[in-house]
Structure 1
Amino acid sequence: MKNSYFEIEWIIDLIKEQEPNRTDLIEQLRASEIRQWIRRPYLRLVSGERPNQQGSEWQFLENIVLEHATEGTIVLDILKDGRIGGVEFLRQIKY
């Protein structure tokens, strides 16, 4: 049976391997209170209410795309202030 949880350390390891210059993201994830979560298509780390509007916490800047051996493509949503806004697991999205 496949483990129903995903560990934050797996994403840290992927960043170290695939985006080694992004130590800022590694530090954020290490400081996160969330250490593991039930597998789901999207993990929101910042409120997405009124995205990209004035006063909204969610001000999108870029995506960082990582490839995991068993989980497939993982996309980190990076906000203008450098925080990770969310983590998307493309393989789990039902189209």
Structure 2
Amino acid sequence: MINSWKKENFNPKWIIDLIKEQEPERLDVINALEKCRKGKWESKAYIFFVSPQNANQVGADWQFDENIVLEHDTEGTIVIDLLKDGKIGGIEFVKYIT
């Protein structure tokens, strides 16, 4: 359960820079990313910022809204999970999926 996992520091600056370059009109995502300072790495490919426990069920913190897909020169495809409340649920680094 993610609530019991230790959260680690995360610096979203390079992803914010990527959003500004590829999706500059998405100020909502930029603002949400600025709040992503601690997260839990589920794997090398995915970091959670919101607990996925009971995802998309009534009363759950995780209520999925949309994906934002970015491309980075060295990190490849990056998928941001945006939730209905405007928070970033997590970020997936596709090239690290095993």
TM-score (norm. length: structure 2): 0.80
C-alpha displacement at 1:32, in angstroms? 3.1
Distance 1:33 1:65 in 2: 20
Instruction: Say which SS state the counterpart of residue 10 (structure 1) adopts.
Output: helix
Residue matched to 1:24 = 28
Counterpart pick for 1:60 among 46, 60, 64: 64
Q: Which runs of 5+ in 2 are unaligned?
A: 1-9
Distance 2:82 2:33 in 1: 12
Residue 75 in structure 1 maps to residue 75 in structure 2: no
Moved >3 Å (runs of 4+): none
Distance 2:14 2:60 in 1: 29
TM-score (norm. length: structure 1): 0.82
Q: Which runs of 5+ in 1 are unaligned?
A: 1-5
Per-residue CA deviation, residues 17-62 of structure 1 (Å, 9 max, x unaligned), is: 111111122122223333xx8x820000000000100000010011
Instruction: Say which SS state the counterpart of residue 43 (structure 1) adopts.
Output: strand
C-alpha displacement at 1:7, in angstroms? 4.2
Q: What amino acid sits opposite 2:46 in the alignment?
A: Y
Instruction: Say which SS state the counterpart of residue 79 (structure 2) adopts.
Output: strand
Distance 1:54 1:82 in 2: 17
